[in-house]
Amino acid sequence: MANSNSKPTGVDRISNLPDSLLCHILSFLTTKEAVVTSILSNRWKTLWTLVPKLDFDSYQFKEISYSDEEQSPNQFNRYGFTFAHIVSRVWALRNRNNAYPLKQFRLYWHSDSDPIQVETWVHAALSHELEELELHICFPELFNFPSALFNYAKTLVVLNLMGNNVYVNPPSSALLGFPSLKTLHLENVWYAKPDSFSRFLSCCPVLQDLTLHLQTYTYDVLKIIVPTLKRLHLDFHNSAYQYNKFEINTPALEYLCFSGYVIEHVLLGNLSNLVEADIEVDYDDIKDYGNMIMDFIKQLSNVKSLHLDSDLTQCLCKATKFDLPMFHNLAFLNFDVGACLWHVLPHLLHLAPNLAVIVFEKEEYMGFYVCDEEDTSIIERMFNEEVPICISTHLKTFHFKGFEGSTYELKFVGHILKMARFLKTMTVSSANIHSEEKFRVLKELLMLPRESRTCQIAFS
């Protein structure tokens, strides 16, 4: 019989795994973390060089700095190695060990970037069968994104280009470019000519997902014409006055996320396949801005799921006309509460007869708003004069976020429960009510009459 006090013999199960599986595990680490595993044993000494991914972040290498007073900001250790030296050394070691073809290359260089080094590394990465390229570079001067890269990045599927002073001048021929690119992220990129951005997109014939953070576009017209595009994320903060016309022609688009300032001339084109739209606008009290928002929302009438932020609803209150079309396909509405919610709400509900899910989200900074007598009368008229057909015949889920237990909120919820014949779930959420008050509010909610016999009330 074995001695019960003897210690079990340790078994290194991980090291017995095949190289391909170990490399897959290491691919979830940054290159710096993967290199550290080389000290484990002879087996692991060069294993990291076989990982088909290189991931460098200059901030990580600054962590090994031992004295800020004894070295320049661009040096990371006592030997005076710069970030560029470390990256180049890793490249050399990887090439010497006949590594697998590189699939992912990520480079975050936050200061004192060297454009020659960056171009060299990008060329080296694309000489493999690279599928993902992510560059987040801060250059002291303009960096010309190498036009030659449009010639041979044939296997690239994902391209993220971020930073400042990155200058793009794509080729004029659509035959060059990125024939396999499906995901493109452009943030704070400069464009050489008025048509440079359009030419960039024409180099991506199978593009499906585009994210555009625009702060440096200085031309009159911005066009996004991509027949294959399915997802579009637009961030136009601080760029509103730099272009006069915005045009989208993306007939295959299924998801649109817009954040920023809305200009007067916006043409969204054919959005017949649009499923979901998430709209967050910058607030402005200039004349006609509410009408500009109204004209923007009109073009989303085919959408099935719609999220409107509080600034947008507040801008709609200032519109001199409320002439939105019917939203027959709309089944989900997330409505962030603005200071004049009740002036907009009845109109929207009457225009969406097939709404099945409604989410009201009253953000914390709106907590100062107090419903006055006029707002209360609007609530009463909305339910007593002509109940929106979506509430009486289609509504199944209602969620009130940011609920504070006020009289007008309870009255509003009560009307929903009383009128919604097919309601299944009423959820009320609040982060600002203490436990005793929650018990009182829940008790009042449970006492409210319900038209739907299957409706369940949840309070959190």
Closest CA to 231 of 251, 209, 263, 207: 209
Question: CA–CA separation, 153 vs 59, rounded Å?
Answer: 28
Angle, CA of 123, 129 and 132, to the nearest 5°? 75
- Mean pLDDT, residues 358-382: 62
- Residue type (1 letter), 85: H
Residue 76 has pLDDT above 50, yes or no: no
Question: CA–CA separation, 331 vs 351, rounded Å?
Answer: 12
Question: CA–CA separation, 25 vs 50, rounded Å?
Answer: 12
Q: How confident is the model at residue 375 (pLDDT cuts 50, 70, 90)?
A: low
Residue 213 falls within a domain, yes or no? no
Q: Show the tokens assigned to 205.
A: 């014939």
Residue 71 has pLDDT above 80, yes or no: no
Residue 158 falls within a domain, yes or no? no
Residue 367 has pLDDT above 50, yes or no: no
Residue 414 falls within a domain, yes or no? no
The pLDDT of residue 310: 81
Encode pLDDT of 217-256 as tens digits.
566 788 899 999 999 999 887 654 456 678 899 999 999 9
Residue 65 has pLDDT above 50, yes or no: no
Q: Mean pLDDT score of the chain, rounded to an integer?
A: 81
Q: Residue 293: which residues within 8 A CB-CB, separation 6 or more?
A: 262, 281, 312, 315, 316, 319
Q: Which of 110-114, 128-132, 253-257, 422-426 has the lowest mean pLDDT?
A: 110-114
Residue 31 falls within a domain, yes or no? yes
The pLDDT of residue 45: 79
Residue 27 falls within a domain, yes or no? yes
Question: CA–CA separation, 59 vs 56, rounded Å?
Answer: 9
Nearest 5°: phi and psi at 107?
A: -135, 115
| pTM, two decimal places | 0.84
Higher pLDDT, 348 or 254: 254
- Mean pLDDT, residues 312-340: 82
Residue 260 has pLDDT above 70, yes or no: yes
Q: Show the tokens assigned to 276.
A: 């979901």
Residue 32 falls within a domain, yes or no? yes
Residue 375 falls within a domain, yes or no? no
Top-confidence range, 141-155, 200-214, 259-273, 398-412: 200-214
Task: Give the count of domains, the chain.
Answer: 1
Residue 450: how many CB atoms within 10 A of its CB? Answer: 18
Encode pLDDT of 317-330 as tens digits.
777 777 888 999 99
Angle, CA of 265, 270 and 274, to the nearest 5°? 110
Q: How confident is the model at residue 171 (pLDDT cuts 50, 70, 90)?
A: confident
Orientation angle between helical segments 373-384 and 407-419, nearest 10 degrees: 10
Encode pLDDT of 5-30 as tens digits.
555 555 667 777 888 888 888 888 88
Residue 210 falls within a domain, yes or no? no
Residue 173 has pLDDT above 90, yes or no: no
- Mean pLDDT, residues 133-156: 81
Partners of residue 277 on adjacent β-strands: 256, 306
Residue 115: how many CB atoms within 10 A of its CB? Answer: 18
Q: 31 lies in which domain range?
A: 21-47
